[in-house]
Structure 1
Amino acid sequence: MNDPQRAWAYVAPQPLQTSPTGPLAGLRFSIKDLYGVDGWPLTGSTRAPLPDVAQSVLVSRLLDLGAAAVGKTHLHEVALGITGMNGYGGTTHPTMPERVAGGSSSGAAVSVALGQVGPLQVHFALGTDTGGSIRVPAAWCGVVGYKPTKGHPDWSTQGVLPLSWTCDHTGPLARDVKTVVRVQEALTGQTVTPQVWNGLRVGLWLPDGWTDETVREAVLAFADDLKGRGATVENVPFPEVLDAYSPIVLSEAARVHAEALGLENPEFMPFTLMSLRNGAGLTEAEVQAAFEKRAEYRALLDGIFTAYDLILAPAVPTPPPLIGQEEVEIGEGNIPLRRAVLRITAPFSLLGAPTLAYPTHTPFVGVQLVAPHGQDDWLLGLGLALENFALEQA
């Protein structure tokens, strides 16, 4: 198997298909190795023991709709990270082997970004997103990623190894919005139509100093494109939410992996083990305080959507960093990579708002388009309009 990026955790001898017909017939997909698939291994890209996981409801539905599953993709170990490092060597960028692909859905992004033919050809990939795990690798690999509204009835998390049941989402990555829309329409039975940007009120969330100049210029250029399509764009503030996000995710992740943590040597990578133990050490009062902060942030986000139709934000703070790089240089100086990334993406998984990661004209730099809760089809319609316009101009 030709897999220099180490994107694949398992490739089936034959694609898994339960229906030769249906709205997704002819499409092949990869599955992040957190999803339960009967007869296929599940490692979570870790050497540590994992809880049992049942057959994924979402995978079963996609197969019934005519899609064929090719295999499983690697991820950042148990989805607790944003670079793609794991117990099997880690997944590298699709075109720059010295750089990261982003995580935790690293292999998912690479599997679609490569546009391979033959046995490893896939048209879309299933990922998960707890704090940016679809959107970050989508941005750094130059593809599209969609994180649905939390609890979307057609994007089930049943049969997926959790990281944080409060923040976990399932969702797809693809090379274009059109493919994401085809999957969405098949699952929901509803038609997604291109939407008009003219007259839309867009709140630009681009905190001063949170990105490098390359990303800042790419986001501002994207905002100018939206203005050219008739939207109004105004700066909007929103705070860092990691004081709520981190305690919630780490405490829940520690409960998921409690059995492994009870072993003398559970074989997690050092950072994963430290993070899980930190989560296990949080008090009930600390976690409750985090949920109270989350409620405050949700009220702030709801308030923004009374004044604006949509939020535009960067999806990453810099272009793809080097493998092993632990800090990034951004406007406010050198800060830890994990914090630089998560404070941009975590708000919208913590608060469950539907978000589309969309490429910019700057290679491997993406933006986030964030809509009010439940406005998934409208959001995808906006992305479809952007894509159609770009194709017309090409």
Structure 2
Amino acid sequence: MPSVQPTGITQVRQQVSSSSAEEVVAAAVQRARDAAGLGAFLSVAEHAESGTGPLAGVPLAVKDNLDTRDLPTTGGTPALRDSRPGRDQHAVARLRAAGAAVIGKTNLHELALGITSNNAAFGPVRNPHDTTRSAGGSSGGSAVAVATGVVPIALGTDTGGSLRVPAAHCGVVGWRPTTGRWGTGRIVPISRTRDTAGVLATSVADVALVDEIVTGQPAPAESGRPLRLGVPRTGFYDDLHPEVARCTERALERLAASGVELVEVEVAGGHALDAECGFPIVFFEVAQDLPAYLATLPGPERGLTLADVLAQVASPDVRAGLEAAASGAVTEDVYRQAMATRDRLRAAYAAALRPADAEPLDALVYPTVPLPPPPLGDDETTELNGRQVPVFLTTIRNTGPGSTAGMPAISLPAGTTGAGLPIGISLEGLPGSDTALLATARRVEAALGPVTSA
């Protein structure tokens, strides 16, 4: 089983300069096979080909709900076990064109409808820092692939926190771009309003490079002015695990010491608005979007219905969610009301980040997840501050509202617990502010310095 030894794109380029790209990629394929004990991969390429370009020789892992032309796309669910779409999702295609080699498809929470990556159909993804703990989800396999140095970059998806939660739990960087920025379609879908592909990496610089390759939009030059970050104490800082609180406050102290201006703000009603509209949007859209995706497949999966997929779902929490979606309880009228509530949520974020009576903020900053990685098997509830809390709703408490609003966000390592479990903090900006947010994240990453225990 590989140790936790992450590596970045620069280090891989150095390896390619002293060896052949084929050898570097072949070594990554072998590392992927060696990671079997962590449950990180669902399929590994027999022979991964590297191209030419800025990522020549760089191995890439892809979450198994993103279509790839040469490997299955299972969505981590039995009904799609043998599905071969024969096409690349937009980000996959752009990274291949830049020279990256897809070495395998990573494990995930079934259908990406959860945050533990405890997949009852294909097995759990285990946290490399403590294999009795969750790696987070739903992009758990991709986070583990980066955290263990199998690859320097891995693609995932994020609907309610599915890139940032495993990034925080595994001690890597997780980037959720603005919804739509990384292309649409060719993803086993949950919600067209909330889904986006994104990337996990070991540094903001690598994330920014990948984002530029995928979108063609380079990050702007960093301004010399001090950063202004909003600290939304209400809701985002409530009821934190003590070690999460310590790591977060230490991070804020470092930022302040480096000259960052920290401004107390409120996303007025943000959590209540998300609770009102987030799930109705997902339940209405997955009932439409998943069958629409199935109809585009070239194989026998083309004839599957939502009921067919549901009949084979293995994970109880995912089954409950799909049953709610299939029930038709969220009518078109309810959905329209939810989308109107979403507009109010977006307005609340805009008011916090662009206040009428003060200078605009560069980003919000908050703990990515209120608690450290929970034990594997805590699928319904887990312990927080001496009581049992719902693991799903607690884990996505901070990442969910911005996801519903379609905002870009990035999770950075902020420290570890006394037991060595990673803790993350997130930066979040308004839709379309991606390149500026990445520039902010680079400055925050530099100010935080090396990660230390709480």
Q: 1:297 & 1:318 partners in 2: Cα distance? A: 25
Determine if contact 2:163/2:174 at 8 Å carries over to the other structure: yes
Q: 1:263 & 1:15 partners in 2: Cα distance? A: 33
Query: Structure 1 residue 184 and structure 2 residue 217: aligned?
Result: no
**TM-superposed deviation, 1:58:** 1.8
Partner in structure 2 of residue 341 of structure 1? 395
Deviations for 1:11-47, whole angstroms, at most 9, x for unmatched residues? 0011133x2x212223211000011112311111111
Task: Using the TM superposition, name which of 49-58 and 262-271 deviates more.
Answer: 49-58
Structure 1 residues 159 and 230, CA gap change in structure 2 (3 angstroms): same
Give the TM-score taking structure 2 as reference length. 0.79
Classify the secondary structure of the residue corresponding to 1:126: strand
Partner in structure 1 of residue 56 of structure 2? 25
Partner in structure 1 of residue 142 of structure 2? 108
**TM-superposed deviation, 1:124:** 0.1
Q: 1:393 & 1:108 partners in 2: Cα distance? A: 21
Query: Structure 1 residue 280 and structure 2 residue 326: aligned?
Result: yes
Classify the secondary structure of the residue corresponding to 1:31: strand
Q: 2:184 & 2:284 partners in 1: Cα distance? A: 19
Q: What is the aligned residue count?
A: 385
Q: 2:309 & 2:183 partners in 1: Cα distance? A: 34
Partner in structure 1 of residue 295 of structure 2? none
Classify the secondary structure of the residue corresponding to 1:98: strand
Classify the secondary structure of the residue corresponding to 1:82: coil
Structure 1 residues 333 and 197, CA gap change in structure 2 (3 angstroms): farther
Determine if contact 1:136/1:315 at 8 Å carries over to the other structure: yes
AA aligned to 1:95 is H
Partner in structure 1 of residue 165 of structure 2? 136
Partner in structure 2 of residue 248 of structure 1? 281
Deviations for 1:237-264, whole angstroms, at most 9, x for unmatched residues? 2331122111111222233445444349
How does 1:145-160 map onto structure 2 within 5 Å?
Answer: 145-152=174-181, 155-160=182-187
Partner in structure 2 of residue 118 of structure 1? none
Partner in structure 1 of residue 249 of structure 2? 220
Partner in structure 2 of residue 374 of structure 1? 432
Q: 1:372 & 1:292 partners in 2: Cα distance? A: 18
Structure 1 residues 202 and 331, CA gap change in structure 2 (3 angstroms): farther
How does 1:56-135 map onto structure 2 within 5 Å?
Answer: 56-86=89-119, 87-115=121-149, 121-135=150-164
Q: 1:235 & 1:336 partners in 2: Cα distance? A: 28
Determine if contact 2:72/2:84 at 8 Å carries over to the other structure: no
Determine if contact 1:196/1:382 at 8 Å carries over to the other structure: no
Task: Using the TM superposition, name which of 223-232 and 183-192 deviates more.
Answer: 183-192
Structure 1 residues 279 and 292, CA gap change in structure 2 (3 angstroms): same
Structure 1 residues 388 and 311, CA gap change in structure 2 (3 angstroms): closer
How does 1:180-329 map onto structure 2 within 5 Å?
Answer: 180-192=207-219, 195=222, 199-206=226-233, 207=235, 208-238=237-267, 239-240=270-271, 241-257=274-290, 259-263=304-308, 266-269=311-314, 270-281=316-327, 282=329, 283-307=331-355, 308-325=361-378, 326-329=380-383
Structure 1 residues 289 and 188, CA gap change in structure 2 (3 angstroms): closer
Structure 1 residues 276 and 38, CA gap change in structure 2 (3 angstroms): same
Quick one: which of 354, 360, 369 aligns to 2:414? Answer: 360
Partner in structure 1 of residue 297 of structure 2? none
Q: Kindly, what percent of the aligned residue pairs are identical?
A: 35
Give the TM-score taking structure 1 as reference length. 0.91
Q: 2:211 & 2:93 partners in 1: Cα distance? A: 15
Determine if contact 2:414/2:451 at 8 Å carries over to the other structure: no
AA aligned to 1:231 is V
AA aligned to 1:45 is G
**Structure with higher helix content:** 2
Determine if contact 1:200/1:231 at 8 Å carries over to the other structure: yes
